[in-house]
Amino acid sequence: MSKIKTALISVHDKDKLQTILKVFRKYKIKIISSGGTFKKIKELGYQSIKLSEFTNFPELLDGRVKTLHPKIHAGILSKKDNIKHTKEMKNSGIQKIDLVIVNFYPFEETIKKTNNFNKIIENIDIGGPTLVRAAAKNHDRVTIIYSKNDYEALISELKKNKGCTSLKFRRDMAEKAFLNTAFYDTSISNYFTKLSKNYFPEKKIISGEKIDDLRYGENPHQKAAIYSYSGQDLDIIQLSGKKLSFNNFNDIYSALSISSSLPKNTGTVIVKHSNPCGVSAVKNKLESFNLAFMCDPVSAFGGIVSCNFKINEKIASQINKTFFEIIIGKGFDNKAIKILKRKKNLRLIDSRSFKTNQVIDIKSNFNNFLLQNIDLDSSSNNFKVVSKIKPSKDTLKNLIFTFNVCKHVKSNAIVLSKNYSTVGIGSGQSSRIDSCKISIDKMNKIDNLEKFSKMRRSELCAASDAFFPFVDNLEKLSLAGVTAIIQPSGSIRDKEIINFANKLGLVLVFSKKRYFKH
């Protein structure tokens, strides 16, 4: 046990201070405090010693130098039962400090509110992290409290131990303290690398703040949690249904990445195991859901639906006819929520706050991790018509839509579409020809494929996520009724592919970029 006789309090966030001050008075704990904290404690009707009076040294440089003083750090860092330390402290007239309560300047909040470089720099805390690290290092004797959320735990500890803290408590608080100083420093270093656009620096620090423990990982016997980078809030809101699992979040963000690439407030995406099994970007909202579902109703069963618009009563009624795990919408009408909540386990997700602002993709493999920048550009500048037959404006737009969906399908990927709606998706095969066969087979299983043709006299388009190395894929697609194909260039047989497309009378468009997804 370590008796708390003297506490140093220096906090930017002064909320809940009164709760601990009451307990300090009860156990006659002397308080040293700095600047604004000293004023706040006085306002609350409690006594403390002003830090500058304790050190006999004024605060300097507009408060940049306050706690960086030998009387403070020696008081914190002196080891318990060390005769040499005790003698040096006595000779220098330095008192021991047993408890440090500190939180930092709000750096993360500042960069969210302003781009003013000078303001951001002034909110980099120096003294605070130094105090925290010193106290956490010497947790054998000193108690460190970093967060106001731990005030209640401190109060409980002091009451239980009559003004003392246990080694276990101090060690637990030290662990939290080091996590928070590391997190704080990571936010600062990430700010500078983002400023310089140095996304692959010599040392890469990835930080996350836990949002929640999940139901389970990829399988029920695995534990999992979700974290946000740099303390950002979760950008989706669960309105109802069971707690989400690792796979649920993976599917949700896979669906949202496709939805966000569709025209504003347009389109429906259905995802299963992070692969799209139906996508439609037609403007009519109910029609887009029906067409997305029609693409592969067998795979859609038990999947998740992402509507890139607000879900109304009519669409909710149609959705409720099938078993889905999750429904995502940019808001829900009250009547829609009432209908969907009839299935108590169905999760409803509001995605209005979701933004595709991710710059770097991270994949972890054992003791290593891979980083890459994300490129989701689908502008027409990336494409070149290479066939003799030129596509109509509508056909080219449909090809680009098809290719955009293809980017989100696991490789090897082949996507067939008609009328801005997928009719066949082949994914995750080692052979491209196998993905081709799967996409055609899925299309042929659609009971009312003619409905696609009747609604719009649109060509059957195909997209591949990488170049076709041989002409067999083109031949197979052409025999299935495909009249327009889009694929990345880059094969040594590109000329052979172009010549074969011309021989078959196909529209062929090359993409300047390849989009594998593994």
Phi, psi of 400 (to 5 degrees): -65, -40
Spatial CA neighbour of 276 closest among 396, 420, 424: 424
- Residue 104: predicted pLDDT: 87
Tokens of 46: 């409690």
Tokens of residue 67, six digits: 């706690």
Query: Class of the 376-511 domain?
Result: alpha beta
Please state which of the ranges 39-53, 211-225, 366-380 shows the lowest mean pLDDT.
366-380
Does domain 2-196 sit in CATH 3.30.70.1140? no
Phi, psi (rounded to 5 degrees) for 417: -145, 160
8 Å CB contact between 402 and 487: no
Please state the domain extents for the chain.
Answer: 2-196, 236-350, 376-511
pLDDT grade for 328, boundaries at 50, 70 and 90: very high
Give the C-alpha separation, 380 to 382, whole Å: 5
Most confident by average pLDDT, 106-120, 242-256, 455-469: 242-256
Whole-number percent of the chain with pLDDT over 90: 53
How would CATH label the architecture of 236-350?
Answer: 3-Layer(aba) Sandwich (3.40)
Distances (CA, A) of 86 to 52, 92, 95, 203: 23, 10, 10, 40
Pairing of β 225-229 and β 208-213: antiparallel
Among 233-237, 377-381, 492-496, 506-510, the minimum mean pLDDT is found in 377-381
Interval 227-252: pLDDT, tens: 887 556 678 999 999 999 999 999 99
DSSP class of 380: G
Q: Which residues pair with 96 in a beta bridge?
A: none
* CA 244 to chain centroid: 15
Summarised one tens digit per residue, pLDDT across range 126-138 is 888 999 999 999 9
- For the question of residue 137 being annotated catalytic, the response is yes
Q: What is the pLDDT of residue 232?
A: 63
According to the model, what pLDDT value does residue 187 have?
87
User: Do the two domains 236-350 and 376-511 of this chain adopt the same fold?
Assistant: yes
Q: Check pLDDT > 70 for residue 296.
A: yes
Report the distance separating Cα 442 and Cα 455, nearest Å: 20
pLDDT of residue 463: 93
The 3-class SS string of 302-357 reads CCEEEECCCECHHHHHHHCCCCCCEEEECCECHHHHHHHCCCCCCEEEECCCCCCC
- Find the catalytic residue in 273, 335, 341, 451: 273
**What mean pLDDT value characterizes the chain?**
88
